[in-house]
Structure 1
């Protein structure tokens, strides 16, 4: 009922699905997997068992086509209940109770019939899990594009899932790290990427949360998230002042949805990521190429997020060409290093001369767009 009530209010619900399946004969998922020979085993035929959130678990062998197809069928009940998205977590694969925090290296994988051990398959495991999820949801809901989010991936994983940078900390240092991490993922073939806005571990100040949310407007995946037991971390959790500032950021994201959708489409067709380093478009500008804090968002925007506390100004590099301050309309000409105002209620943002930016009126949720 909760899912249907949320849907009536315009919310789309996504749930976390980990690879670990409780090692419990009589549990229908375990029984189906055992009957279909879908779990990873040691060379002697015994199941690999590792402790994760449900306790002792077995793990599907996602390098086996039949196992991926079986895994995909498990989403039917959730889809029938109205769940719209699926978040594949703990799929490095992660295990709690061993020093390596992952599978034993001699655990075997089907590996498309080659029968190889975990040393060859560790890096691809998460992507193959996301693949099984994506392909299963696609079959169950053929008229909709699946939304899948994955913590672990591999080259080519962008075909199946978006990604985020993992469990970060509510600190200015981790906010600053978020930019190069997303840029590196973007130019490495994973263009649909973002961070846990505000930090997953700990509790951000109102200023830190507001600056992180401003950055999040210009990451392909915009998601605010925190761990259980932390302080409230919603856009309205920091008093009226920051609620107003955060509302402005969220409205900007909704306003830019047509532009963002266009950039996603372009990325899907060309492989050029929407969030990219300045040096990607301006390789001859060495000062731009070494810049890991400012970035391009599609072909129209240069974004210079504020990554330090108590900032009132922001220095940045403008590459060659004419640029306009999005907020004031002031024109600048590059290549040039400039300093601009950076009040708490806005992110320094520049538009390339000649750009076309489709926009819309801000809405309450995307289905109103």
Structure 2
């Protein structure tokens, strides 16, 4: 489940909608996606003449041309400098992104981890020659060669940004201050009716991450690589949690409101939500618990059927350039990918708040990924539960 993550980006989307996205596995530099054998596609060795246009699929807030807010525009300068006219479509979900990419009508997409892995496996995304993207050299090391954006050391896109799923609590009503995800799992009955959780099948990974730390006998290595026994344990934990849930959230403005009113006192959140809630007077704190956390990382990928590949490469380099990447990160509410972007944010504390350059912080984050039968943790003696089964289970969990 994925939404735009700032107030302004939400306005750009016209309505706040839930979006199915299940980003990435592992933390920081990753190995290849275990068991994934993508088609043998060739990356370009050099760029040719630009084609005069580029067609993009993006999350709301990623491709802004001033039409939503005259002060928010990084498209017009791109068009002037490259001669590539931008046409973009805002996608509501990763499923929609995958479907649109299969049409061959789009040149590039800002894919989250579930979409990126599917696009790589199906051959709809082409391997990317990072030498043709000069600004790639300044991308934080922890975003390169991840299990969600590369296979066997071959990058399939250019990292855009990243964020963590945090535990937020009301400092007046939740005492002592929690240190663990136990606050929303084993200890959830203490706040029955006032616990909130992210409304998405990928939230099963949050339960798996907690079980990885608290039930070592399950031998969970990767919260996105669950055999049937491990998966059943995570589902059972979430079914127990359901009795204490007041609301599953997908509209983050509603989560801000719920924490302000006291309807919610503990649950999952994003940094942008925590900041908004605090700014509006809610007595909240948010942090990564001792078990670590899940999170997202988005990647700009080029279609293997791109009609305007040269303009697509120009866009990849533009969107990850320091100034533009800083603008997008602040507007959207995530840590930028380019290490030089932090010096250019309007809020000089922005990158500190979002832990942009703190690689030790990101090593604690298991980025969203797509569960597949070929276990992403490298096991070959069992089959893992694929994402379609996660979707079915989520319906059962919520009742």
Indicate the structure whose relative CO is greater, using CA pairs within 8 Å and at least 6 residues apart: 2
Higher helix share: 2
Give the structure-2-normalised TM-score.
0.23
Give the structure-1-normalised TM-score.
0.25
Larger Cα-atom Rg: 1
